[in-house]
Amino acid sequence: MSDVCIIGIGIHPFGRTEGMTGMDMGVAAARAAVADAGLDWNAVQFAFGGSDASGNADTMIRLLGLTGIQFINVKNGCATGGSALFAASSAIRSGEYDVGLAVGFDKHPRGAFDPIPADWGLPEWYGETGLMLTTQFFAMKIRRYMDQFGISPVTLGRVAEKSFRNGALAEHAWRREPVDLETILNAQMVSDPLTKFMFCSPAEGAVALVLASEKKARELGGPVIRLKAAAMRTRPAGSFEVFSPMLDIARGGSATNIASAAAFEKAGIGPEDIHVAQLQDTEAGAEIMHMAENGFCKDGEQEAWLAEGRTEIGGKLPVNTDGGCIACGEPIGASGLRQVYENVVQLRGAGGRRQVPGNPRTAYSHVYGAPGVSAVTILER
Amino acid sequence: MAKRPIAEGLFTDEAEPRLIGGRRLSDGRIVFPMPSGGEAVFYEPVPLSRKGTLWSWTVQRFRPKSPPYAGPEAFEPYAVGYVELPGEVIVESRLADVAFDRIHSGMAMELVILPFTSDPDGTIVTTYAFRPAGESA
């Protein structure tokens, strides 16, 4: 079986772009990724792509070129990008193909998501009475975690402060202005204990990655960045998920726990071997909890990690070097691939002012979403 | 004034109403709400404890989008939490009769049925909530 390499990356800046559909952004990202690989569209043998709310990805071939390739649409909520990447990777690893594309894009209206209960197998009253909000779930998950493990509101603020500081250094980020800790902590409360600066917003954007077999990557002569693992998992019993009218008293692990463990096992390395990580930060609490759920620290250690700046760009384990979802916003279909894009930038040493020092060789990405899905990748240069 | 619950089968109609959960016939696992549709045959309805302790909480500070939200246009922030019903299940609920700055995990809570909104004909639509136990009954 061939190792799988990422040979081209393309992004359409996140945020708001008037006059462009989500799919337009997907096309722009796909063209950029193919050009970055030094190829033209004719060389792409297959694609997996998707969006949550911006249409059928395979429609893009009308603009990219009618070359007759296999193009499979993926729709898997927050794991859409990760699932497309997993599928594309498998197609190359199996030997079926040499060069393919994974693409994700989206464009959401302003404000919180407005899910329909039936889509999630839930009764109407759950939405009608105002219980079906992602923001409430995030707030209650971190509230419980803070009570259990002694995480303070200041630590939540430090996460958001870092996000905006890093986002200011990333060309593709949406929020490009630093915000100071005081402002973050004293801002309007959205869902206690989370203020408005601690949440990401639904947004717009697109990312595409060109994958190739190692043999093909070497022929093309670029830096060889291997996708050592891509794992997507669903929730185990007793997990705490968004849109849950009930929880079992016997508590269990999370989709993140098992996706992370599976990815580390495939890659043959552990959390201590990772040099840079992009972790789902739908809000500041999520980044904190995901540090532990992915095995990078023990529950409660985040308080010291943030105070000591260990997740800063120059720290022991830089986390969310482009500002993550908090600075980039969350176009559902594109968000997971943005993390991989950023990791490739870092492993190429092309991060400019946000470049992780010390020549990082390993990079980790993690997404989490409803109704309890997680996708993890590990890259190695 | 006429009243109706926001959904049938959500809570009992008795002097001290209880939420209606489901007990899975195969293993006794308790879920909330009682499953409907094809899944219902695997469960029997079971009234849940009226009392429990607060497991986690937040405050909803902005009006949720409609649909699905069906509350009154005039919006007042409301508290939401998970309440652990001992030996049964942890249920999600609105919280009532408590100042936001007095809410804390571990509080003793009890079920109440409250007016939520009203139909165009004036019928009052009720839903369930938990409030601190033993206060202003």
Residues of B near A (CB-CB distance < 8 A)? 6-7, 10, 21, 29, 31-33, 36, 55-62, 64-65, 67-71, 78, 80-82, 84, 87-94, 100, 105, 116, 127
Q: How far apart are the first and last CA of chain B?
A: 22
Mean pLDDT of the residues in chain A: 95
> In this structure, which amino acid lies at residue B40?
A
Which pLDDT tens digit goes with each residue over B31-44?
999 999 899 999 99
Q: Is the ipTM of this structure higher than 0.90? A: yes
CB atoms within 10 A of CB A215: 11
Q: How far apart, in whole angstroms, are the C-alpha atoms of residue A139 and residue A144?
A: 9
Nearest to A373 by CA among A80, A35, A24: A80
- Confidence at residue A88, expressed as pLDDT on a 0 to 100 scale: 97
Burial class (CB in 10 A: 0-12, 13-18, 19+), B106: exposed
Query: Number of CB pairs < 8 Å for A and B?
Result: 114
pLDDT < 70 positions in chain B: 135-137
Contact flag A191-B88 (C-beta cutoff 8 Å): no
A176-200 average pLDDT score: 97
Q: What is the pTM of this model?
A: 0.94
Q: b/e string for A347-367 if b means 16 or more Cβ within 10 A? A: beeebeebbbeeebebbbbbb
Which pLDDT tens digit goes with each residue over A222-258?
888 999 999 999 999 999 988 999 999 999 999 999 9
